Structure 1
Amino acid sequence: MNQVFMNLLANAIDAIEDCFQKELCSNPLIHISSEQVDDNAIIRIADNGVGIPEEIQSRLFDPFFTTKAIGRGTGMGLSISYQIITEKHGGSLQCISSPGAGAEFIITMPIRVAKSV
């Protein structure tokens, strides 16, 4: 899960850095929250960058897909994060974004309680 959080945070940092450099947001922000809903842990990582166009969102978790400039990232971070969350932890990873409104990645994972013997 460390790799997942590092990938999501690195992407959020890149997004707000880009936004700030282009003078599109004067107050760059990353918001991280967590909560328990029923038997699930929900972690949200949101930024107030430029957002992700709708036509790109369906490809975000594809291997080697990137929106970054050449030489800046491999395009593997979100694909690996998706696999870790869904295959290793039985959870889900989704992105909510619209241009000009930043992006929010939502991790939902079941909470597993070890049975006492």
Structure 2
Amino acid sequence: MLKSARVKNGYSQEYLSVILKVSSSRISRWERGKTAMTLEQILMYASKVGIQSTKIFEFLARNGQPGPLPIAEIHLEVFTEEAFRRLSQLVSELGIEHVTIKTKRLR
């Protein structure tokens, strides 16, 4: 993930090493998963190559395995507290490995 983002931006390991103030061999070890990165290094690397830091953390949490791709995105407008409660309960029962939910209180 790190290498592909770096290459996509046209950055060499040497160029990125200067920006991040580490050796190019360290960049190489990070990209190959041979050396752990600190939280600060993850955030700096992500910002320099245009990766959302949350995407890196998701990737790390999955141990580099690709996550399931969504098959649908549904937008709902809920008009009652009861409907909101029941929908939230249903999503909770399905589990976060099957469904994610983003909510926005309008009132």
More strand by share: 1
Structure (1 or 2) with the larger CA radius of gyration: 2
Tell whether the structures are fold-level matches, with TM greater than 0.5. Answer: no
What is the TM-score of this pair, normalised by structure 2? 0.25
More helix by share: 2
What is the TM-score of this pair, normalised by structure 1? 0.23
